[in-house]
Every structure is written in structure tokens, then in C-alpha cells.
Amino acid sequence: MRLRVRSWRPLGILASLILILVVVQLLRPVPPIQLRTSMPATLTVPGPTAHIPWPSAGQSALAVAGVGMVGTSGTITPTPIASLAKMMVAYLILKDHPLGAGQNGPQLTVTPADVALYQSDAAGNQSVLPVAAGEVLNERQMLEGLLLPSGNNVATMLARWDAGSLSAFVAKMNAAAKALGMTQSHYADASGVDQATVSTAVDQVRLAEADMANPVFAAIVRLPQATLPVAGVVYNVNADLGHAGIIGVKTGSTTAAGGCLVAAREVTVGGTPRLVIGAVLGQGGLQPLPDALAAGKRLMAAVPGLFAMVHPVRAGQVAASLVAPWTHPVALAVPAPAPGFVGWGGLRASAHVAPTADLKPGKPVAAGTKVASLTLTVGRQTATLPLAAGVAIAPPSLAWRLMRP
């Protein structure tokens, strides 16, 4: 009888150990479902790289409004920009004194001091708008005189009207440049005749995009001519207007700056009009401004073949997975249709996957549950897509919980 009791004692101990092990296994925390990204953070848009007919001299830049910089040529360093400075004058005037559709704005009466300014600028062989004492010009007419014949005297008149003095207005120009991210620009005057007024092709493209977003500015710079009270018919210096689809923007030329041009045209991509802006600075030679115009025309003529709707990811492409140790990984695929962006071959894009649902330990995930998001960024274009579980994830089984290592 004693031998029988002793033989059961080890079995009791073993049973106790097994019971303890079962309890421990059941009480152990279940590991959470992990979200693992399988898509690289940086993507390259497939397709051939766009061939851009850059000028052989100076510096240039090309961008798509709302998308970003396509490319640059030459050394991007601050250089005199001549009358391109007037784009900033117009930007500030329309910002401080906005005009609606059909509005002409407040009126300015030309003073004897304004006439003296005109005569002085004309004597210096500058581009000017003829004015007479007592002449009344509204804001829209002043902007036409600023942007079409590129009146240096009008730039100074507008500066004094807006800020009280030229120096105060120049300070506003530099503050606006900083706010627009024009980090390599400095304004020393309003007209650009001062060679200390400098910028880059990249900064001028950035400013032109902000200007062209204003419908009043965009309407004025595409005018071939305008009629003003004293000056009569004035013509747009931009001889490229209407050629190669060009709808603006501004020319500039001095000995220090050479020939300069900022040009814009619209191109339809994916059924939507897109504004493309190019800047050409520092064109030399015997005819610097015609050289800049010719370079700008070649650049804009090539625009329609440069861009298309691109797809950095394809529908069904796996962007991430849900991983749980008690089951097979569950793929999270890009939904159909995959988004398209305005772009070109070789354009860099970024991808970021982030969880959007609380993946709790041991809790099931139903098929179709949106558990994460994929954010794609192409230039300044962004799209966020939901990522859903392709199949359900059941909670861990009792057998798995008992047998897990």
C-alpha cells in the first residue's frame, strides 16, 4: 500500500506542473499585430527622363505650378534681374490693394514730382511710361503701364503710393521675398535698374507662380497692348506673347543683367490645364533680350511633350503587411484605381505608411478593415489612400496559446 502511494506522488507533481504551465501560457500577454511596411520610402517614377532644351548660357529653371521644379541649368546664383523686379511690385500692389473681376481700383493723380521722375528716367535711357501732371490713372492702368511697356517710373510711383516712400516699399519687397521662400533674392529698388537688385531663376519662377495665381495679374501680362490716357497705345515688351503657347509673364534687360525672361504657358495633362513657368536669366551677346526671348520660346515650345500623368505605384501593389505570430502575414495592397500625378520620368516621389486603426493584442481583424493609410507625395502633390486587410485575422487559438514558445 505504501508503494502505491509513493508511485502516485510523481504523477501528482507532474500534473501540478502541467497545470501551472497551462495557466502561465494562458495568462501570458498575446503579442500585438504588427504593421510592417514593404514599400520603400522613396520611389522613382518610371519612364524616360524629360529632355529640356536649356539655353547654353546664363541660368534657367522650369517648374509646374502646384507640382514643383522640373529642373535647372547653369549656376543658380544671385544675379541682376532688371525689370523682372516689377513682378514683385505687382505682387505687393495686388496684395495690398486687391482688385476683383471688372474692378479698376483707386485712382492716382500724376503730380509734378511724378513728371520730373519720368523725365529723369527717360533722360537716363530707361524704359518709361509717358505721364503728364494732373493725369488720372487707376490702379489697373498703372499695373498695365508697369507690366507691358515696363515703365520704371511707374514702378517708383506705385512704390511711393503704396508705402509712402521708395525705401519703405523696398523693405516690403524683401519681406515678401522671404515669406515666399525666395532665399536668394534681394531688392534694392522697385524698377530693377539697380544692379544690386538680384535673384535667381528658381526664385523668379516661384514668384511668377504666386503672381499668376492672381487672375488680375494673369490677365494683364497676356495683353499684347493697352491704351492709357496720355501715353496712348502701349505695347507688351514680351514679343514671345502668343508664340509657343506663351501667356506671359515679364521681360527684363540691362547691361548688368543681360537678357531676362520669365515665361508661362498652359498645358493639359490628364484632362486638366496646368501652368508651366520657365525663367531664363543672364543671356548675353549683342542682342541679350532677343536671345532671352528665343531661349524662352524654345523652352516653352517643348513643354507639351515633357509631362504626363504618372503612377508611382500600381493597383494591387503590396504596401505593407499585418504580421501576427499565430497566422500567416496579411497583405495590405494599393487599392484600385491607383492615383495618378502630373510628372515625368525620373521624378522622385515619397511614400509613407501609417496605422489608422488600433490593432489590439488578441483582437480579430475583419476582412476589409481599413487598418493603415499610404500617403504618396509627388512634388507638392499629395494623395492618401486607405489600406485594408485582404483577409480576416482571427484571434489566436487556444492550441496556439498553449503551444507557443
Backbone angles phi, psi at 318, to 5 degrees: -75, 120
Residues in the chain: 405
CA distances in angstroms from 376 to 46, 144, 269, listed in the order given: 15, 42, 19
- Whole-angstrom distance, CA of residue 232 vs CA of residue 229: 6
CB half-sphere exposure, 346, CA atoms < 13 A: 9
CA distances in angstroms from 195 to 46, 54, 279, listed in the order given: 43, 25, 18
Cell (9 digits) for 128: 518709361
| Spatial contact of 319 and 39, defined as CB atoms under 8 Å apart | yes
Q: Count CB neighbours of 26 within 10 A.
A: 10
For residue 182, give the amino acid letter: M
Q: Look at the block and give the residue holding cell 515679364.
A: 250
* Cis previous bond, 405, omega within 30: no
Cell (9 digits) for 156: 517708383
- Whole-angstrom distance, CA of residue 195 vs CA of residue 63: 26
Contacts of 353-360 with CB under 8 Å at 24 or more apart are 353/35, 353/37, 353/39, 353/319, 353/320, 353/387, 355/35, 356/386, 359/32, 359/33, 359/34, 359/35, 359/322, 360/32
Catalytic residues, by residue number, are 83, 86, 150
Cell (9 digits) for 234: 502701349
Cell (9 digits) for 75: 549656376
